[in-house]
Structure 1
Amino acid sequence: MTISQRLKQVPDSYFGKTMGRKIIHGPLSLVNMAVGIPDGETPKGILDTFAEALYIPDNQKYGAFHGKEDFKRAIVDFYKRHYDVTLDKDEEVCILYGTKNGLVGLPTSIVDPGETVLLPDPGYTDYLAGVMLADAKPVSLNLEPPDYLPDWSTLSKETLKETRLVYLTYPNNPTGSTATHEVFEEAVNQFKGTKTKIVHDFAYSAFGFDHKNPSILQTPDAKDLAVEIYSLSKGFNMSGFRVGFAVGNKDMISALKKYQTHTHAGMFGALQDAATYALNNCDDFLVQQSDTFKKRRDFFQTQLDDAGIPYEPMKGGIFIWIATPTGYDGEEFVEFLLRDQSILVAPGIPFGENGRNYVRVSLALDDAQLEEAARRLKTLAPMYKNNI
């Protein structure tokens, strides 16, 4: 097999190898609760804008590598309107062809081989790939239940001194935990004046149930050391469009833009026009998205409570982090659920060692499917008696 040693050492992407595969399940109809994207349709105005933009001659040609002025202005206006954060559209904004490209490409852009990068455990699976492709050194940032927030005092002074990049992600994928302004203030103050930078993955920003999710850039001095990566996939139901952006620290943005000039040749203009419309016109839709998933959260957690099935409180995002019964790790429980209940969920193990005895359950289903999934899971209550 022809493959570089660098790429060979990177674990296979969990979702890359599982999405689209044939699912073998038990006799019941399959309920897919492993999906990491909201289930609704893209708003009509976004689709209409995209369709019309296809016929604009300039959109059928190469565009500016770093994006249209209207799109960058829409990003700036969106952050000012939602977070009261002022951005420079030329120096503090980087358009991304899907936020995963930015999250994976950032270590190569700003970290040297052998330098330390702190990765949340549990946290999104592909952060590790970006670190390994940069020949950097991944170190776990241990997050513990029920809040899954960083405790900087648990890290040695040597580790903190050697760290060049920290990944944070709130609402957290996979646990559904959220951060407050104070959490970001602690992070910024911990690394202010050092060589350490922070990247905050804000993919599930729209989904905050107990309070609106804050931006790390609202923290004083955050732009001195942090960037935030925002996705249009989840809040706007635009996952297939592959559009996002990074905002914040101008040096990090500059490095990421340089990296992209060698890996991409500019985003399709019609996509930018659709994204511009979304940012400028769909604030109410973001509220509806959050309300929808809050109702689902309230219903599903009540069902789990009734059955005595343990889980971590879901404060944001679209996932519930459910503990496995005694005697099962996450992967074993995934296979059991498929075989016994025809329910597909994601194991916690790919998200870090702290996910070994959990599964990630998506609420991106319609009401009928969600009710059916809850009914089936409640029949497993006897399996959890030994967990108490």
Structure 2
Amino acid sequence: MEHLLNDTVRGIEISGIRKFFNLVGDQKDILSLTIGQPDFQTPDHIKEATKQALDNNHTQYTPNAGLLELREAISHFVYSNYQLSYRPEDEVIVTVGASQAIDIALRTILSPGDEVILPGPVYPGYEPLVRMAGATPKHIDTRTNEFKLTADLLEDHLTSKTKCVILSYPSNPTGVTLTKEELRDIANLIGGKEIFIIADEIYSELTYEQKHTSIGVFDSVRNQTLIVQGLSKSHSMTGFRLGYLLAPKEIQQHALKVHQYNVSCATSISQYAALKALTIGKSDPIAMKNAYKDRRDYVLKRLQDMKLDAVAPDGAFYVFVKIPTNENSFDFAMRLVNEAKLAFVPGSAFSKFGEGYLRLSYAYDMDILKEGLNRLEQFLAQ
């Protein structure tokens, strides 16, 4: 019966990140620096709020858009941190992780025949969702532009079919982000055109030298912009599956329909946990961010000592490392696994423009990073 299934779904492959992780996961003595999951425990006050929600029998459906109290907390949080102004009543939707926010955003705005521009390399979770919405992804090569999709690159690729531009900064897999000036240039370019912007800002709390700027602060594109956010990375709550979508009322009233028929509402228990995270725990990301910065600096120094080329990340917890041979990224990564018992994600998992690179995640304890980089150094010496 498989041949009767949806052709688009049958043509989609499992994420290259997960595929490689699963491929090497069963091998013994492998040190893996592959998965982008914080190694910190969820803060205790968030766990306590989860238990309390259970004890108080908060196990029923919530409003489709989420608890109003949580939406109010989200609205206050993004205004306080990023100067974003979204009404909790009708411009905030609580979602099942940032992934679902991306899905409902794309399904709300896309129609068959539309084109969506993405930076390349890029997180592999967007392209399948674009295709399942009947649209076509168009990657722009950012490798010679420090992995940044800037206005000058973007302008040359806009067509009459362009319906959406996805800005995923700070970036997975490169860790780079856009400055306020670079975002303003994009806003000036896109503003007034019949093109949406989806800004995936899931790593916005984890930036180092510069504070995160959201493109949603520019009035010229506010009515065209949908912002994806969540708590997985900022508060180490990956398993809670709690995200949110910010957009103008005119868009959200339709996105809410997609969300309603998709999941009804986000998990009630996770919503109460998120409420605690965004109020009492709003400063939780600071200690994690400082630790990630120390790890980043250590990793970059070690890679530099090994004469390996990598653009310094501005945020998130990834380094995109150029392979020092002419091998393709999958073959080189497999050699690392087999000969050094060390796993990185092949760059080809992040579109064809990731070929020739490896993604190293430093969301791991410093001792693990030291051992992993020791193994890499020994491998290169041989």
**Aligned residue for 2:16?**
14
- Of stretches 373-382 and 254-263 in structure 1, the one that deviates more from structure 2 is 373-382
Partners of 2:202 and 2:275 lie apart in 1 by 17
**Aligned residue for 2:199?**
200
**Aligned residue for 1:107?**
106
Q: Aligned to 2:172, what secondary structure does the other structure show?
A: coil
Residue 36 in structure 1 maps to residue 36 in structure 2: yes
Partners of 1:352 and 1:159 lie apart in 2 by 20
Matches within 5 A, 1:120-269: 120-145=119-144, 147-154=146-153, 159-269=158-268
In the TM superposition, residue 145 of structure 1 has moved relative to its aligned partner by: 4.1
- Of stretches 224-233 and 149-158 in structure 1, the one that deviates more from structure 2 is 149-158
Q: Aligned to 2:325, what secondary structure does the other structure show?
A: coil
| Distance change in 2, residues 1:219/1:44 (3 Å) | same
Q: Aligned to 1:159, what secondary structure does the other structure show?
A: coil
- Of stretches 166-175 and 59-68 in structure 1, the one that deviates more from structure 2 is 59-68
Q: Aligned to 2:279, what secondary structure does the other structure show?
A: helix
In the TM superposition, residue 268 of structure 1 has moved relative to its aligned partner by: 2.2
Partners of 1:281 and 1:174 lie apart in 2 by 31
Partners of 1:25 and 1:116 lie apart in 2 by 41
Partners of 1:269 and 1:158 lie apart in 2 by 42
Letter matched to residue 55 of structure 1? D
In the TM superposition, residue 204 of structure 1 has moved relative to its aligned partner by: 1.1
Partners of 1:373 and 1:22 lie apart in 2 by 15
8 Å contact from structure 1 (residues 314, 320) kept in 2: yes
Partners of 1:98 and 1:19 lie apart in 2 by 21
Residue 367 in structure 1 maps to residue 369 in structure 2: no
**Aligned residue for 1:328?**
327
In the TM superposition, residue 139 of structure 1 has moved relative to its aligned partner by: 1.1
In the TM superposition, residue 6 of structure 1 has moved relative to its aligned partner by: 2.4
User: What per-residue deviation string (whole Å, max 9, x for no partner) do you get for residues 292-333 of structure 1?
Assistant: 100001111111111112212122110010011212111111
Partners of 1:338 and 1:21 lie apart in 2 by 10
In the TM superposition, residue 21 of structure 1 has moved relative to its aligned partner by: 5.5
Partners of 1:125 and 1:346 lie apart in 2 by 12
Matches within 5 A, 1:348-387: 348-382=347-381
Identity percentage of aligned residues: 25
8 Å contact from structure 1 (residues 114, 135) kept in 2: yes
TM-score (structure 1 length as normaliser): 0.93
In the TM superposition, residue 155 of structure 1 has moved relative to its aligned partner by: 5.3
Letter matched to residue 284 of structure 1? S
8 Å contact from structure 2 (residues 339, 379) kept in 1: no
Structure 2 gap ranges (5+): none
Q: Aligned to 2:106, what secondary structure does the other structure show?
A: helix
**Structure 1 residue runs of 4+, over 6 Å off?**
none
Partners of 2:61 and 2:358 lie apart in 1 by 44
In the TM superposition, residue 48 of structure 1 has moved relative to its aligned partner by: 0.2
**Aligned residue for 1:386?**
none
8 Å contact from structure 2 (residues 150, 182) kept in 1: no
8 Å contact from structure 2 (residues 114, 136) kept in 1: yes
| Distance change in 2, residues 1:146/1:192 (3 Å) | closer
Partners of 1:100 and 1:189 lie apart in 2 by 28
**When the two structures are aligned, how many residues end up with a matched partner?**
380
8 Å contact from structure 1 (residues 87, 93) kept in 2: yes
Partners of 1:155 and 1:145 lie apart in 2 by 14
Q: Aligned to 2:41, what secondary structure does the other structure show?
A: coil
User: What per-residue deviation string (whole Å, max 9, x for no partner) do you get for residues 37-71 of structure 1?
Assistant: 111100000000001101223x2222211111110
- Of stretches 41-50 and 258-267 in structure 1, the one that deviates more from structure 2 is 258-267
Letter matched to residue 278 of structure 1? A
8 Å contact from structure 1 (residues 10, 133) kept in 2: no
8 Å contact from structure 2 (residues 24, 30) kept in 1: no
Letter matched to residue 54 of structure 1? L
Partners of 1:84 and 1:158 lie apart in 2 by 30
In the TM superposition, residue 287 of structure 1 has moved relative to its aligned partner by: 1.2
8 Å contact from structure 2 (residues 192, 220) kept in 1: no
In the TM superposition, residue 84 of structure 1 has moved relative to its aligned partner by: 2.1
Give RMSD over aligned pairs: 1.9
Matches within 5 A, 1:270-309: 270-309=269-308
8 Å contact from structure 1 (residues 217, 248) kept in 2: no
8 Å contact from structure 1 (residues 168, 200) kept in 2: yes
